Amino acid sequence: MRISIITATYNSAATVADTIESVANQTYSNIEHLIIDGLSKDNTLDVVKNSKHVGPVFSEKDKGIYDAMNKGIGKASGDVIGILNSDDFYASNDIIEQVANLFATTNCDLLYGDLYFIDQNDTSKVKRKWISGNYKLNDFLYGWMPPHPTFFVKKEVYEKYGMFNMELGSAADYELMLRFIYKHKLKTSYLNKVMVLFRIGGASTKNLNNRVKANMNDRRAWTVNGLRPKWFTLHLKPLRKIKQFIK
């Protein structure tokens, strides 16, 4: 099984070496790591060139991170595709090996795991813990979603059911997972392990205005799929994050 990892970069020189190293050090050998760069103005591409990175690198103007991810999905040659942000890294060197084993043993269409939010400067400091748990039917109605950086999907799923909807802003990953897991009921597996360490500071949570926009786009994610959430669904979604802070 060939696994493609897509990393979208834009002015990522400060952190992308950690991302690349975490992929390069994986024990699983059949990995393709694509760098999709949005014409960085810093020395991101120099860092990539001088790092352990092995794989195709593309640098051209894009329409944002989800456009870059879609480009990467289209260019990927793997049977399974994962997306690793340019300031995140895998929690251990055997993550991809465990991903491949779970796909092989369960014949799932997609899988996800757990994620830790870490301090931007001191990556040994864990700030929040996103423990997903096994997916149960209708979990999305109660505000559940898995962490997208842990999401691995067979390429044939993207080819059949589509890629990221760029009109949904920061909710594009939520809409994609809602579409695959809840609407189309694809076979899903849970890797009960911390898979990714995520430097804290996502766009949708930087301020209240962004959170309001994210909530509006979350609602649109249901609408574009012809689905209806419960009246409480989109209120529970941000509230579920509270337990991530409980140590």
Give the pLDDT confidence of 55-107 residue by residue, as tens digits.
999 999 999 999 999 999 999 999 999 999 999 999 999 999 999 999 999 99
Using DSSP bridges, classify how beta strands 3-9 and 88-90 pair: parallel, antiparallel or unpaired: unpaired
Question: Which spans in the chain are helix H?
Answer: 16-24, 44-49, 65-75, 95-106, 155-161, 172-177, 208-223, 233-239
Three-class DSSP category at 247: coil
Q: Which residues of 140-178 are buried (b: 16+ CB within 10 A; e: fewer)?
A: bbebbbbbbbbbbbbbebbeeeebbbeebbbbbbbbbbb
Q: What is the pLDDT of residue 245?
A: 85
CB neighbours (10 Å) of residue 180?
A: 20
List, in sequence order, the alpha helices (H) in 27-125: 44-49, 65-75, 95-106
Domain ranges in the chain are 3-245
**Within a 13 Å sphere around the CA of 142, how many CA atoms are in the beta-carbon half?**
5
CA Rg value for the chain: 17
User: By the 8 A CB rule, do 45 and 4 touch?
Assistant: no
CATH of domain 3-245: 3.90.550.10
Contact 242, 205 (CB under 8 A): no
Lowest pLDDT segment from 31-45, 196-210, 232-246:
196-210
Distance CA 182, CA 173 (A): 13
Where residue 13 falls among pLDDT bands split at 50, 70, 90? very high
